[in-house]
Amino acid sequence: MNLDNYKLFTVGPTQMYESTLKVRSKVVPYFRTPEFSEMMLDSERLIKKLQFAPHDSKVVFLTASGSGAMEATVINCFNQNDKLLVISGGTFGERFEKICEIHQIPFEALKLGADEALESSHFQEFENQGFTGLLVNIDETYTGQLYDINIIRDFCDRNNLLLVVDAISSFLADPYYMEKNHIDATIISSQKGLCLAPGLSIITLSPRMVQKVESIKVASLYFDFNDYFINMMRGQTPFTPAVGVCFELNDMLHKIDEQGIDARLKEVKARCDYFRSSIQNLPIHLPKYPLSNAITPIRFEKDIAMDFFAYLKNEKHIMVNPVGGELGKRSIRVAHVGDLKLVDYDNLINEIKTYFNM
C-alpha cells in the first residue's frame, strides 16, 4: 500500500498533524525512567483538565484499541452483582452488549432503530428496575448520532447509576464535561479526536468509580486497573505501553491546551458546519437525529456508497469512512477531526459533484 498522497476524511486513523508526524519520526526511547514518568503524569493532568474531570479522578493508560478499553472498563467496573443498561443504537452499542454477554454481567439494552433519536421517553420503562450502571457510546459512530447527555445524566441521577461513557469519537469534536455530567468513566482512544497513531486508549475514572474498581477482583492479568492505579502513582504502566504514541499524546495535549479546548472544538465545528452547509443542494441527505461534530453520515438515494467509496480511494486518493452492515449500501461518513482545511472539503465536494455529473 502506497502511503503517499492520501487525504483522510476518516474518523480514525485521521489526517495527522505535522507536529505529530515530527514526534513519530524520532527513536522510541526506553521508558522506565523518571523523565518518561514525568511526561505521563503531565499527560494525566492535561487529560483530566481537558475532560473537566473531578480533581481526584484516576487515569489509566492502556495499550489497546478502543474496544479493548471498552472491555477492560466493563470488567473492572462491574461484575455479576450489577445490572447494566446499554444504550444500543448501532454497532458500538452492540459491542457493549457483547462484552456484557461474554463476561456474564447482567444487562438490558435500550434499542434504537436506524433513524431513531434517543429521547427521555425511552427511559420510562427502565426507571426503578434495579439498574446499577449505564453504558453509552455518546457519539454512536456507526450512525453519527450524538446522544443527549442531559437525558442520560438525569436518568442516572434519579436511579443512582454509575455512568460509563465511551467518548472515543466524540471527545475533541463535541463539548465534554465529565464532572458536570456526573460521568464515572470516560473512554477515549488515540486514533480518533486526538489524531494520533492507534494503540493507546485512556480511561478516566471518577473517585466513586475508583472505589468501585478497588472493590472488584478482576479475572485478568493485563487488564487489571488496580495494577494501573498503583503504577500510575509514579507515572508508569504495569506493561510496556505504546511508548511512541505516549510521546505523540503529550505533544498533542500541550498543543490543544495552549490553543484552548474551546478553540479546538470551534475549529472542528467550523469544518463540520462548512461541509454540511455545502452539500445541501446535492442528491444526498442527512439523518434527522442530532449529529456529532466528529463525522457527517451522508445518505445516498441509491445503493452506490461502496462504489463511491472505491472511486474516491482508487481514482482520487481520498479516504472517507465506509459504513458496515445494511446502512453501508447507501451511506458513507465524512470526518471533521484531523488536520483538514476548508479547501480540502471544497475538493471533496467537487469530487462528489463530478461523481454525480453535476
Ligand X SMILES: *Cc1c(COP(=O)(O)O)cnc(C)c1O
Give the nearest distance from C-beta 111 to ligand X in angstroms: 17
Of the pair 105, 138, the CB lying nearest ligand X is at 138
- Judged by beta carbon, residue 159 or residue 201, the one nearer ligand X is 201
Helix (H, G, I), strand (E, B) or coil at 6: coil
Please say whether the dihedral angle defined by the alpha carbons of residues 351, 352, 356 and 358, taken in this order, is positive or negative: negative
Closer residue to ligand X, CB minimum distance, 184 or 236? 184
**DSSP per position, 89-149:** SSHHHHHHHHHHHHTT--EEEEE--TTPPP-GGGGGGGTTS---EEEEESEETTTTEE--H
Integer-rounded Cα radius of gyration of the chain: 20
Nearest distance in Å: CB 189, ligand X: 5
Contacts of 35 (CB under 8 A, 6+ apart): none
Q: Considering the complex, what minimum distance in angstroms separates the CB of residue 169 from ligand X?
A: 4
Shortest-Cβ-distance residue relative to ligand X = 66
State the Cα–Cα distance between residues 123 and 129, nearest whole angstrom: 11
Beta carbon nearer to ligand X, 245 or 352: 245
Residue 38 beta carbon to ligand X: minimum distance, rounded to whole angstroms: 28
Nearer to ligand X, 68 or 207 (CB): 68
CB of 11 to ligand X, least distance (A): 6
The nearer residue to ligand X, 102 or 230, going by C-beta atoms, is 102
By beta-carbon proximity to ligand X, the closer residue of 69 and 305 is: 69
Binding footprint of ligand X on the chain (CB under 6 A):
12, 65-67, 92, 137, 141, 166, 168-169, 189, 192
Shortest CB 69 distance to ligand X, Å = 8
Query: Is 87 in contact with 135 (CB distance < 8 Å)?
Result: yes
The SS3 of residue 329 is: helix
With cell 426507571, the residue in question is 127
State the minimum distance, in angstroms, from the CB of residue 10 to ligand X: 10
Record the cell numbers describing residue 264, joined without a space: 479546538
Q: Rounded distance, CA 68 to CA 120, Å?
A: 30
The residue assigned the cell 487529560 is 47
